[in-house]
Amino acid sequence: MSNLKITNLTKRFSEVLAVDNLNLEVADGEFVTLLGPSGCGKTTILRTIAGFCNPDRGEIFFGDKIMNNIPPNKRNTAMCFQSYALFPHMSVWDNISFGLKMQKISRQGQKKKISQVMEMLGLEGLEKRKPGQLSGGQQQRVALARAIVTEPKILLFDEPLSNLDAKLRVQVRIEIRDMQKRLGITTIYVTHDQDEALAISDRIVVMERGHIEQLGDPYNIYRNPETSFVAGFIGLANIYEGTVVARDGSRYTVEAPFGKVVIVSDGRKIPEASKTVKFVWRPEDMKIYIQGAPNRVKGKILQAVFMGNITDIFIDVQGNKMRAQIDESRKLIAGDVIEFSIPEDAFSILRG
Amino acid sequence: MALTDSTAETSLYLIQARKKRNFYLLLMIFFMIVLILWVGIPILMAVMWSLVDPKNPWSYPNLFPPSFSLAQWKYVFDYTNIGRALRNSYSIAPLAVLLSFVLSLPTSYVLGRKKIPGKKFFMLVVLLPIIMPGMVVALFLSRVFTAFGLSQTFFGLVLAHTLMSMPYMIRVMTTSFQAIPQDVIDAAENLGANTFVKIRDIFLPMIRPGLLAGMIFAFTVSIEEFNLTFIIGTPTFETIPTILFSFMGYNFIRTNASVVALLMMTPNIIMLFIVERFLKSDYLAASLGKM
């Protein structure tokens, strides 16, 4: 059973088409991330689910109930805002109890629930503080507590971690994931941070200019990108075009500008012979060539950046630039000639 | 080696910081002195003038009155309607503040939070009564008040004072409404708040500092309002300023004017200090910054 269903959602802001005929189904207890660059419509979708934004066309269903005409305060969603949006004049306790008061829950019941949530998020002892007296991480946790304490049908996150520093961001995202798993609340999470999306989601919706580019679990989104936008937006990518010159079962030989490569298709996209195809592989797929390895490419190092665990290398293969990230103990310097191989199954063939 | 370097750097930084602090301290002392001269001397003069003994006039080259007495105070209370004027002033002012709050609240809300065409224009129109010379406004408004049968009535005076204080009230409250982040309002609604709860639990507490500031302005304006009061109120109603002005003009009596001026000023100053205490909690700063 799907907990949230969006059908044919369209929203236009004067000249800009923010959401273009979008369909999405989210299962009960699922964690779905809307990922895309700013202006791709992800926040608009979130605000439409919460009820702050009226769609021009399309429906929002919670379960099998249509929600379009239900005002935000009756939807029983809980949103975590980028700015946290804590009530600055209320104590931490009053902030968290706000939603429960609205649900007319008894004082005793409120107390029990709030204590539970505060303990879960490590907020004990801060009950009487005002938001202005808390650190960024604590404010973020109070916002989270305020949202989950109401036991919402759907939990909505609008870039909740973007105001935290890098270390805290990783820590809080693990907490969010843990908590969501434990409570089993259906969650929609908006972010433009690909690492965050990969780490936290059951499924990722990659969006661009109001439509879905690709929908899938983090592994598939990263390993099998379908378009060059997805390949380029998530992770690093070497993208090339070539002509299919030979085919042997699921193995294709493609004539690329830097030489012939053999690709093993994953079976989803079958390129036709003598057609032009676009394909991608990740920098970390490139290995130092050893005897007998497939897809040998020889190039000159333009730049080698030592990053500790890996070395980030830009190479020039007969005038074609590509990027490799290898785990190599030898020190590499610009001007060295180096030979790589690319595993046949490292490639993904792109739609466009 | 590296350690000594960093210590040297730290101490250099500390010296610079101290120098900067000293500079700010000097600057502060300078402005304090200017402020005391500017505000304190006139008040001191008023106090001295109000205590001049009529038998022993204060004249050049005496720096201070030769002897003090309460004769001027006695005169003002014996020979003018200052008692009634005080009562009038301090019953009109709270009513005017209340009315101006009630009328300004929706206006400020719309100006501060809604997207409406011509907002800038409306903001300017709201300020017009302050920009125009007071006597000019009074002259023409008095005609309107007379037409509606409001002149020489208590309610008319309350209304007049409301009109004169509303620009300040609207201006300050509009800014307060503007300063509330939309996310905070959305969060309340998301958690189940209806319009009434949003107003009671979010808007009103968050505009409280601005509201109090607006009330101080409105109260002061009402206590000081002369032009319109003079034209539509006197002789039926006297307020402190109308009595004050009666000691000015052609028969200028500085000593009596000083007494009335002190009577008018003191409650305002006391009120300012009281409200100042309420303003301490800095909600808006907390909601906007320090994230």
Cis bond upstream, residue A131 (ω within 30): no
* Pair of tokens at residue A93: 């306790």
Closest chain A residue to the Cα of B190, Cα to Cα: A73
Mean pLDDT score, A41-64: 92
Q: Give B12's DSSP letter.
A: H
Handedness of CA B92, B97, B103, B107 (dihedral sign): positive
Which has more confidence, B285 or A323? A323
* Pair of tokens at residue A73: 């305060």
Between B190, B202, B206, which is nearest A78 by CB?
B190
pLDDT at B285: 45
pLDDT in tens, A128-187: 999 989 998 899 999 999 999 999 999 999 998 888 888 888 888 898 998 899 989 999
pLDDT in tens, B79-119: 888 889 999 999 999 999 999 999 999 999 999 998 888 88
Mean pLDDT score, A270-275: 71
Residue with tokens 């605000």: A47
Q: Has residue A57 got a pLDDT over 90?
A: yes
Interface test with B, best of A49, A67, A70, A73 (most B CBs within 10 A): A73
Closest chain A residue to the Cα of B284, Cα to Cα: A88
- How far apart are the C-alpha atoms of B105 and B86, rounded to whole Å? 28
pLDDT in tens, B136-164: 888 888 889 999 998 899 999 999 999 98
Q: Has residue B3 got a pLDDT over 60?
A: no
Which has more confidence, B149 or B248? B149
The verdict on a CB contact (< 8 Å) between B291 and A50 is: no
Between B186, B283, B291, which is nearest A136 by CB?
B291
pLDDT at B8: 63
Between B181, B189, B191, which is nearest A83 by CB?
B181
Which has more confidence, B59 or B100? B100
Q: Does B192 touch chain A (CB under 8 A)?
A: yes
pLDDT at A27: 93
pLDDT in tens, A65-93: 999 999 999 999 999 999 999 999 999 99
Half-sphere exposure of A142 (CA within 13 A, CB side): 33
pLDDT at B101: 93
Q: Has residue B280 got a pLDDT over 60?
A: no
Residue with tokens 């201070």: B64
The verdict on a CB contact (< 8 Å) between B184 and A88 is: yes
Q: Which chain B residues are Cβ-neighbours of A81 within 8 angstroms?
A: 183, 186-187
Q: Which chain A residues are Cβ-neighbours of B201 within 8 angstroms?
A: 87, 98
Residues in chain A: 352
* Pair of tokens at residue A128: 């009487």
Which residues numbered 144-183 in A keep a CB inside 8 Å of some CB on B?
146, 150, 163
Between B181, B208, B290, which is nearest A85 by CB?
B181
The verdict on a CB contact (< 8 Å) between B291 and A139 is: yes
The alpha-carbon gap from B173 to the nearest alpha carbon of chain A, in Å, equals 17
Listed in sequence order, the residues at least 6 apart from B2 whose beta carbon sits closer than 8 Å to its beta carbon are none
Instruction: Give the rounded percent of residues in chain B with a pLDDT score beyond 90.
Output: 30
Instruction: Give the rounded percent of residues in chain A with a pLDDT score beyond 90.
Output: 60
The alpha-carbon gap from A79 to the nearest alpha carbon of chain B, in Å, equals 7
CATH number of B81-288: 1.10.3720.10
Is the pTM here over 0.80, yes or no? Answer: no
Average confidence score pLDDT of chain A: 90
Q: Has residue B132 got a pLDDT over 60?
A: yes
pLDDT at B1: 43
